Structure 1
Amino acid sequence: MNVVLLTGCAGFIGMHCALRLLERGGTVVGIDNLNPYYDVALKQARLAQLQARPGFRFVKLDLADRQGLAALFDEVRPCRVLHLAAQAGVRYSIDCPDDYTDANLLGFANLLQGCRRHRVEHLVYASSSSVYGSNAKMPFVESDAVDHPISYYAATKKANELMAHTYAHLYGIPMTGLRFFTVYGPWGRPDMALFKFTRAMLAGETINVYGDGQLVRDFTYIDDIVEGVLRVLDKPATPDAQFDPLHPNPATSSAPYRIFNIGNGRPTVLLDYIAALEEALGVRAQKRLLPRQPGDMQSTAADTSALQRWVGFAPATPVKEGVRRFVDWYRAFYRKPPAGA
C-alpha cells in the first residue's frame, strides 16, 4: 500500500505537505504531539483541514515514546516517511535545550529504528539552514562544512544529518535531508517574524526589529517548499557514483544519502521584508531597532542548484507576492488581530 507516515502533520509545513499528498490520492498517517510551544488552537485548525479529507488518519503521539512509535510502525508499515516534526525555534533552544534533546535527537533516533525495522523505501527529513552557523561564504552550498553551529537547535539538526547517514550506510535505507530556509506563508507559525509583525502592526503596536533590520534571510514561500519536498520524496536517495572518500562531499555519499538546500535563492534584507508587509497591510510599521539576538545568524542565502539538478525544480515565488498571500490568509482566518495567538 502507498502509505506515507508524516510526522508533524499539525505543523506549518507538515499540514501543507499532507494536503498535497492527499490531493494526489495517497494515504497519509499523520503524527503530532500537539505541544504548546505555540497556540495549540492554530495547530488544531490545521489538523481540521486534514481530517476533512479522505485518506488521512491522525495519531496523537510523541516521537520520544519509543514503544508507541514502534507499535505504530508495526501497524501502518509505511512505504515512505516524511519527517517534519521537531522542536523548532533558535532562541527557545537557548532557554529550553532539553525539549530539543527529546524531540530532535531521541525522537529522530526512534524514527530511524522504525525505518530500519520496516525497510522503508525512503526517509525524507527536515534539516535547517541553521546548520551553516557562523559560515560567512555566500550563498550556502551543501558541500560546505557545517561544523560551527551557533544554536543548540542547529546542533540537533546537524546531528540528525549524521544519524541519517549512519543508517543509510549500515542498512542501505535511502535518506534525504532538506535544509529549509525561513519558510513563510498562510498557516505559518506565530513565533516567526512575519506573523509577529502582522499581529503587532494591525494592533498599532511597535515591532522589535533585530539586527537593526539588516539581517538577511532567504525567505521561501510555502508552496515552493511543498513542491520541492514532494518531488524529493518521490525520488529516493541513491549512492553517489562520483563520491571520493579522499575528498568527501558532505552532501552525498557512497551510501544512499543526500542533502539539499531548499530555499528561494533570492535573499532579502529584513527591512525590505517589512516594507513588503507594510504594502500588503496598508499599515506603516512602528519599528524598534535592536541588536542581533544570541543564536541568530547574520545572513542566510541558499544555492539551490543541486536540488534543481536532482528533481528539476527551483522555488520562484517573489517575496512581495508571498507576503500578500499570507496577509490575505491572516485577515480571513482571524478577522481581527488575535489576542495572544
Structure 2
Amino acid sequence: MRYFSVYGQLQVIKPGSHSWVVAWFAARAAAGLPLHLNGGGHQVRDFVHVDDIAEGTLRALTGPAADRKTVNLGTGRPTTIRTAADLVSGHFPGTRVVETPMPPGDPLGGFAGTTLMQQVPGWQPAITIEDGAAQYVRWLKSTPAALPGWLRQEAGQRA
C-alpha cells in the first residue's frame, strides 16, 4: 500500500515535522498563529482521510484485485496547500495566512493514480477534504489537550 497525504482525528503535530498539513494548519489556527504557505501554497497533495485509509487498506488486503501489487491509496484528487489553509482558516475567524519562501527541495507534490484501487470491490474514498478538514477542526476544538504545549508556548511568546 502506498498512502498519500493522510489526515484525520487523533493526529497531533510534532515539532519540526513537515507532514500532516491539515493538522498543522488547524493547530496553528487554534493557537492564534498564522498559517505559512511556502511558495504561496501552490503545491498539490492528495489528501485522504484516515477513515478512508483504514477501509481501503482492509479491502485491498482481503481482495484479489490488489494481491502482490503496489496500490496507491488516495482520492485521485489534487488539492493545493492554499486550499487546505483556506478550508481550515474558515473555522477560525481572524486567522492570518502568510506567504513564505519555498524551502529548497520542497516538492511541488502530486496525487494518486487510483486505477488499481478502483478495481477493489466496495472501496471509494468517502470523505472529501472539505468534510474531513471540518471534522478535524471539530475534533481539535473538542479535544483541547490535543493542542501541544510547545505550540501554546510559541503562541504565548508571540502575544
Give the TM-score band, short-chain normalised: 0.7 to 0.9
1-side partners of 2:102 and 2:12: how far apart? 21
Q: Is residue 321 from structure 1 mapped to residue 144 from structure 2 by the alignment? A: no
Q: How does 1:1-341 map to 2 (within 5 A)?
A: 178-190=1-13, 191=17, 192-235=20-63, 257-279=68-90, 281-334=91-144, 337-340=147-150
- Alpha-carbon distance, 1:222 to partner: 1.1
Q: Which whole-Å CA distance do the structure 2 matches of 1:324 and 1:189 have between them?
A: 16
Contact 2:12 2:148 (C-alpha < 8 Å) held by counterparts:
no
Deviation at 1:283, TM superposition (A): 2.3
Does the 8 A contact of 1:181 with 1:300 survive in 2? Answer: no
CA separation of 1:262 and 1:189: change in aligned 2, threshold 3 A: farther
Q: Distance in 2 between matches of 1:295 and 1:311?
A: 38
8 Å contact from structure 2 (residues 88, 134) kept in 1 = yes
Per the TM alignment, residue 179 of structure 1 is displaced from its structure 2 partner at its CA by 1.1
Give the 3 Å change call, closer, same or farther, for CA 200–282 of structure 1 in structure 2: closer
User: How far apart, CA to CA, are the structure 1 residues paired with 2:94 and 2:21?
Assistant: 16
Unpaired runs of at least 5, structure 1: 1-177, 239-255
Q: Greater Rg, structure 1 or structure 2?
A: 1
CA distance in 2, matches of 1:225, 1:321: 15
Residue 155 of structure 2 corresponds to which residue in structure 1?
none
Cα distance in 1 for residues equivalent to 2:82 and 2:27: 17
Shift of 1:278: 1.7
Name the structure 2 match of 1:92: none
Question: Any conservation in 2 of the 1:211–1:298 contact (CA below 8 Å)?
Answer: no
Q: What secondary structure does 2:140 align onto?
A: helix
Q: Within 2, Cα distance between the matches of 1:338 and 1:257? A: 40
Q: 1:189 Cα shift?
A: 4.2
Q: Greater RCO between the two (CA within 8 Å, min separation 6)?
A: 2
Structure 1 Cα separation of the partners of residues 114 and 3 of structure 2:
11
Q: Cα offset for 1:294? A: 3.8
Taking structure 2 as the reference length, the TM-score comes to 0.80
- State the Cα deviation string for residues 139-182 of structure 1 (Å, max 9, x = none): xxxxxxxxxxxxxxxxxxxxxxxxxxxxxxxxxxxxxxx11110
Q: State the SS of the aligned residue for 1:340.
A: helix
SS, match of residue 71 in structure 2: strand
Instruction: For 1:202 and 1:340, locate their aligned partners in 2 and report how far apart those are by CA, in whole Å.
Output: 13
| SS of residue matched to 2:52 | helix
1:166-212 CA-partner distances (Å, limit 9, x unpaired): xxxxxxxxxxxx11110011012414222222222122222222131
Cα 1:258–1:274 change in 2 (3 A) is same
Aligned length: 146
Q: CA RMSD in A?
A: 2.2
For residue 265 of structure 1, give the secondary structure of its aligned residue in structure 2. Answer: coil
DSSP 3-state at the match of 2:107: coil
